A and B are shown apart, each in its own frame.
Chain A
């Protein structure tokens, strides 16, 4: 052992039996107990000097306080103290009264001078102001100075040379003074207790004899370690030195920040005498705890056991608080450039922190006590223990992919699931107390995108390629699995916890958090056995119509038809129509301007861009999405008659949109694409992709285009020959169907003839067949193309008339069904059967994706027909049904209800009544009676995919035209929607996508490109799965919240759990205790402020209009940062405006415990992000440029700060 002990300068080491010394930051006192053999020829007296040297270096000088002689042990025990002995022994015999305003530093210096000890302040601050008539003295100097330190938020200790170091403890968390490896540690205890847990601070100060009021501050917050919300543990400081409320609140705030958490101390014994000081940060590697820690007690023991160092890390002091001032780095995760960091205070140069990451698309990141964890786009789990080693990857446990775990336990089905793309991590968090690393994993497909709106938007799902998490292995029931994985870096081991709710394991992980006590995981749970089906998920759009619009590549195409709507009022929705002219809507993100827009192509063939806002209508209590500004762009223009058939983002270059369009020729079509740089309105020249010649069939009835899963399908259906020749019927030789496929991502082009029906197939040679279309009498051939999951479905019907040589007429009808590669047909009628549709009357037909076809004849009997085009085989087995129409003939008033297989709606034109019709027998079931003072215009049914039973009627009511939901028995006038400007210039057509209504003008013009889009919050969540926040308690998962939208979770320090769905009004706050979940009630203070929230945190900050701190939620609202009380939801206010000028913000982070205020960081949206930082003591943001080009996905500080 390399130690030396000197007594008054003489080496007495060879007489020392053992010693133990200890210095505590909480008291500022260092003590030494040394046992010496009594055969030493030295006299010891109080105030003798004992100098300790360890490992060859002088450490501390102590002064003897007492000497004990022991017999028969034959030892002398010296109890010694460092220079603090001077303060303790010195009694301030005078009484001082503050008569003029003075600061604490003045008095500390005065008393230290009086004592005669050396000191050094680590701060330039003068401390806190003392009130008049403050009385001091008549106590020991130590007691007096501790009181003054407490009022100042400072600490004090004596260094080895006996100099008192006073001030804030400026500690760099990443500047490690020592490393305690497993082989260094002799024993380690982690102790948690709530002895110092206080969640309320009451400060009483001076009494103001003029105002007759007492200085008073009262600050309360909640912690997860309280028993429940009634458990308020109060600390009170009453001190007449506190001159005003501001000082009182400063102290109360410091107290709450310091004491509103449990104590988690790490007690270590390591071999050897370590060269450490109070306030040093050390690394600890052990099975019990791995991470960094602040040395708050330091001691060395020398004895027969050897020379060991005793450390206590992370103690909190009962009398001193708020004296830490941590320095560290701020980290930014990016989607493509890994993790970058810069120092908070000193060198503001960004440096790459990605070494070891094999996927630089970082989508989640967390740091606590020097432990880093991250998740990448590909679902990789990475971590690093301290900042000076590369990232390491945790391999996904093989057990999670085993058939055993993927077998459903409940229900006994034994279904073995095959993960679509393997196990992927979705989110990560480091346990706030014990530094376990937590990951949320699942087996859903799709990569992480690091953006709520990108990943979870229904629009994204509809576009398919962007869909993340909602794509399941084809052919299987939508069941997958989710887990929480807890990794202990010190032990290198992990535990997994399968997530389940009431026996359901169909889980997708969205987000994860930890409050130092429990894990909280946000999940999507399959509702009634199914999550939204990918690629056919327009229904999902309904609830988030503009959700997918906040970041790069979030373009979505929703084809619609203008002509069909204008020309065929009775047609169904505009998703796929057998008409020529296509219109498209694009909700897009411009990473620079970040506007949310809808783009449309009008009949004039010109692109319009409409900027939308969502506004709350105070009168109706409903939300309206209005085209608040309309901008004509210089975007692509097309030759007259050209038709847009698809719009797509260019993956190669962000911000580019590709337009696919088709020439206007009658029978020969050229297909083109055009690329458009949206931000600059720069349009490239159109590029020809291919030509399709339909001239073999002049009776070209269908050129319908439909975009599904990134592919445009164009249906071409035509009939050979002119139908007449010299006034006589001539048989057409064929009916042909071809499908043109355009891959929108890679600009591929294919054209396939998929079906041909030749004349000879129809019977004997003595029959002539013709298509009545050619005669101009009826529309008896019709084909439609529809989305069918990630393919299309083609169905059709035709009626042919035959004349034999004897002049007898007969008729046959055929139905067709198929997909993008083949179409089959079947005869469903011939003249030997009584019922027929045509001729002798017009036949109106409708086709939709779920009902197949419905027809109605105009005269000659009340007949209609229907067949289900979804299952072709049934055509043979059960030909289409005849409809015995008992209503008066009403040719233009049949309305299918999408997704619902039981009803139709029909209008009886004889009396104007509306009726619910059975789909089974076509008989009226009941009359639909509008509310009093209302009349029915027409119904609009939602598209299919889970929204089928939602139907709205356009009613004319006392307040004008409106949309009212109908539930098959009554109208809900409480949800009556009055679209803005619902006037005569608009069609009565409304495209209904669940809660979103697209109302179209009768004709598109430049000045009136799109009219408006309305959004109805329907209140009842469609069956698209459930979104839950679950608390993990061991292997159990308890439901904390259930909501209509995917939920984000944040616990910035320890409580509350602040959750958010998509909009401001969807914040929720939960104070969670072991026996109670206390949910804050959302107040309607968000009215009118219902915008998307890209990111949020909360921190202890002064509230609006109050002096006390509270957990203030800070969130991004476009260009600004807003705040409100995270517990009460009160005091919502704009805190920092236009931080990056007009640049939109996308990510935010705050510190949690900085004493004087908090750091706030934000980044701008899109690629080439800018980073802004607000320091605690400042009220403005500073730009620190130099981040890489990729968009920022997350900003993180070590949670300790």
Chain B
């Protein structure tokens, strides 16, 4: 039986459509709303919820980035990003060229927290990382967008940074594939799926990681890959001078990143009737024997297309 659609966007009425997308790697989730009327303006705080009557979900808490009003349609198109747009917008530039932002002997999560705070983000909930940066000499950060540097730090430690739907920024140890201990959050069977494709590729395999830290510090981790010719190594370099200045941290980073990158990319794209509960960084159990896809998959990205024409959820799953 068809369900009745429901939605709510701050200060907006006559909503025609909502497109919401989020992914494991996107700096921010985004929502694009078309509507008849709105009192939102650039920079306004906004929440976006949609789904069905009795089954809607808060998709985004963030800010308005773009508004377009056009004629003859007489429609508004509003684009919003979640709270991490603050870090994207914030360009770190010291007010004293000789005294840039710096920290010493600081955990990775605290350094990221300090950078987020520069951008005005204080609602931050990190997992412990076991990484300590700039143990011997201070790390200096200047002339870079805050998000870029935060993302760089997260990459060093192979963690993921994102903002949840409530606007809390999280730093988690989350690989973009199912790991031991994961439990399934939802299932997709043939009956659920409108469209599906499966793809696997070696394009993202890196089986050798070299980490360069401060002077004299480096670490190399490598392993053979069953998907590459024997003895063949694809190398990625993590250059973090000034940030990693201890051998143990360099080795830890190399180890984490090798585990992250030395994998065959397997990707499933699904299109299903709108599922409000589906968000990235969760686990889905998929049973699609027709294309040889079964088991638990990591929800890598999600796009919800909600409109008067219906509600479709598109997912990219990985393992």
Which residues in A have some Cβ–Cβ distance to B below 8 Å?
185, 187-195, 197, 200, 202, 204, 214, 216, 218, 224-228, 230-236, 262, 286-288, 517-518, 1033-1034, 1073-1075
Contacts and interface: CB of A to CB of B under 8 A. Distances in A.
A191 B69 CA distance: 6
A191 B65 CA distance: 11
Contacts of A262: 42-43
Contact of A224 (B43, B68, B91): B43
Contact of B97 (A189, A214, A1034, A1075): A214
Contacts of B292: none
A187 B65 contact: no
B86 A191 contact: no
Contact of B68 (A190, A216, A1033): A190
Interface in B1-45: 11, 39, 41-45
A288 B69 contact: yes
B67 A191 contact: yes
Contacts of A193: 42, 65-67, 79
B89 A288 contact: no
A813 B66 CA distance: 83
B120 interface: yes
B291 interface: no
Interface stretch (B70-78, B179-187, B236-244, B296-304): B70-78
B186 to A, nearest CB: 34
B97 A1074 contact: no
B45 A1075 contact: yes
Contacts of A190: 68-70
B124 to A, nearest CB: 14
Contacts of A218: 95
A673 B119 CA distance: 72
Contacts of B98: 214
Contact of A1033 (B39, B67, B91): B39
Given A189-B68, A194-B66, 11 more contacts: A185-B71, A188-B70, A227-B45, A230-B120, A231-B120, A232-B90, A233-B91, A234-B90, A288-B71, A517-B43, A518-B41
A187 B45 contact: no
A517 B42 contact: yes
B43 A202 contact: no
Nearest to B85: A227
Given A188-B71, A192-B41, A231 B66 contact: no
A227 B95 CA distance: 21
Interface string B224-247: 000000000000000000000000
Contacts of A230: 119-120
8 contacts: A187-B72, A189-B70, A190-B70, A193-B65, A225-B43, A227-B43, A234-B92, A1074-B45
B93 interface: yes
B143 interface: yes
**Closest 4 pairs between A and B when the two form their complex, measured CB to CB:** A230-B120, A225-B43, A189-B70, A193-B66
A226 B120 CA distance: 11
B63 interface: yes
B71 A202 contact: no
A228 B39 CA distance: 19
B32 to A, nearest CB: 13
B70 A227 contact: no
- For A190, A200, A227, the residue with the greatest tally of chain B CB atoms inside 10 Å of its CB is A227
Nearest to A215: B97
Nearest to B91: A234
Nearest to A220: B95
Contacts of B71: 185, 187-189, 286-288
A801 to B, nearest CB: 79
Interface residues of B, number: 30
- For B43, B72, B95, B119, the residue with the greatest tally of chain A CB atoms inside 10 Å of its CB is B43
Contact of A192 (B63, B66, B74, B120): B66
A232 B117 CA distance: 12
B67 A227 contact: no
Interface string B98-111: 10000000000000
B90 A1074 contact: no
A234 B69 CA distance: 28
B86 A192 contact: no
Contacts of B89: 194, 231, 233
B43 A1074 contact: yes
A192 B67 contact: yes
Nearest to A214: B97
- For A197, A233, A287, the residue with the greatest tally of chain B CB atoms inside 10 Å of its CB is A233
- For A190, A216, A234, A262, the residue with the greatest tally of chain B CB atoms inside 10 Å of its CB is A234
A520 to B, nearest CB: 14
Given A231-B89, A232-B90, A1074 B70 contact: no
A187 B42 CA distance: 23
B63 A236 contact: no
Nearest to B117: A230
A200 B93 contact: yes
B93 A234 contact: yes
A288 B86 contact: no
Given A187-B71, A235-B91, A1073 B66 contact: no
Given A187-B72, A227-B86, A227-B120, A202 B93 contact: yes
A192 B68 contact: yes
B70 A288 contact: yes
A189 B71 CA distance: 6
Contacts of B72: 187
Interface in B205-231: none
Interface in B115-130: 119-120
A194 B63 CA distance: 11
A337 to B, nearest CB: 38
A204 B70 contact: no
Nearest to B11: A1034
A215 to B, nearest CB: 10
Contacts of B120: 227-228, 230-231
Contacts of A195: 66
A1034 B95 CA distance: 38
Contact of A225 (B41, B45, B70, B93): B41
A235 B119 CA distance: 15
Nearest to A1075: B45
Interface in B48-96: 63, 65-72, 74, 79, 86, 89-93, 95
B85 to A, nearest CB: 9
B83 to A, nearest CB: 9
B143 A192 contact: no
A643 to B, nearest CB: 63
A225 B95 contact: no
B201 to A, nearest CB: 33
Contacts of B90: 231-234
Given A189-B68, A287-B71, A1034-B11, A236 B42 contact: no
A187 B119 contact: no
Nearest to B94: A202
Given A190-B68, A193-B66, A225 B91 contact: no
A1021 to B, nearest CB: 33
Contacts of A187: 70-72
Contacts of A287: 71, 74
Contacts of B74: 287-288
Nearest to A267: B70
Contacts of A1034: 11, 39
B93 A236 contact: yes
B36 to A, nearest CB: 13
B39 A192 contact: no
Interface string B122-160: 000000000000000000000100000000000000000
A1164 to B, nearest CB: 40
B149 to A, nearest CB: 14
B42 A192 contact: yes
Contacts of B119: 230-231
Contacts of A200: 93
Contacts of B69: 189-190, 288
A226 B98 CA distance: 27
Interface in B247-274: none
